[in-house]
């Protein structure tokens, strides 16, 4: 199954979903960056809250780690979405990047940025776990 397995309507629906997700991720990453810069700016001006108790410091550090992880996750998804849009423009969207077979319409409808078929994705995930 290749890109032709998708109807024109499905392909357009997926393109719109990918574009919307790209815009949302860009907005989210921009907001995170502004928040990070504001905290850094406050700290450099001495406007930051006093350090507080060790518990407050630990909570602040944990929140910072979570924000960093969320930003990394969003960035990775943005890269995947942009790659899917590039594959769509090149005419290879819907083809597994590992084996060349079709990714599957149901999989693309559930995960528009999917770049592998289920079998190849399972192999890739199993390889990472080792």
pLDDT in tens, 6-18: 899 999 999 999 9
Q: Which residue range is the domain that position 87 belongs to?
A: 3-46+56-129
Query: What domain count does the chain have?
Result: 1
Q: Which residue has the tokens 């602040």?
A: 60
| 105 domain-assigned | yes
Residue 2 has a pLDDT of 42
| 76 domain-assigned | yes
Whichever domain contains 7, its CATH number is 1.20.120.910
pTM of the model as a whole: 0.79
Asked whether 81 and 18 are in contact (CB, 8 A), the reply is: yes
| 51 domain-assigned | no
| 110 domain-assigned | yes
List helix spans (H) across the chain. 8-45, 54-90, 105-110, 118-129
Residue 22 has a pLDDT of 98
Residue 46 has a pLDDT of 61
| 87 domain-assigned | yes
Q: How confident is the model at residue 44 (pLDDT cuts 50, 70, 90)?
A: low
| 101 domain-assigned | yes
Residue 3 has a pLDDT of 44
How far apart, in whole angstroms, are the C-alpha atoms of residue 72 and residue 111? 19
Lowest model confidence (mean pLDDT) among 2-11, 29-38, 60-69: 2-11
Q: How confident is the model at residue 86 (pLDDT cuts 50, 70, 90)?
A: very high
């Amino acid at each position: 199954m290749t890109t032709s397995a998708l109807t024109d309507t499905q392909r357009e629906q997926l393109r719109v979903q990918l574009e919307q997700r790209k815009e949302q991720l860009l907005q989210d990453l921009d907001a995170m960056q502004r928040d990070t810069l504001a905290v850094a700016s406050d700290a450099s001006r001495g406007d930051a809250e006093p350090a507080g108790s060790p518990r407050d410091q630990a909570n602040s550090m944990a929140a910072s780690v979570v924000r960093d992880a969320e930003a990394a996750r969003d960035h990775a998804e943005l890269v995947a979405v942009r790659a899917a849009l590039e594959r769509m423009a090149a005419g290879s969207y819907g083809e597994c990047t590992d084996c060349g077979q079709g990714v599957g319409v149901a999989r693309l409808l559930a995960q528009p940025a999917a770049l592998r078929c289920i079998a190849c994705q399972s192999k890739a995930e199993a390889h990472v776990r080792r």
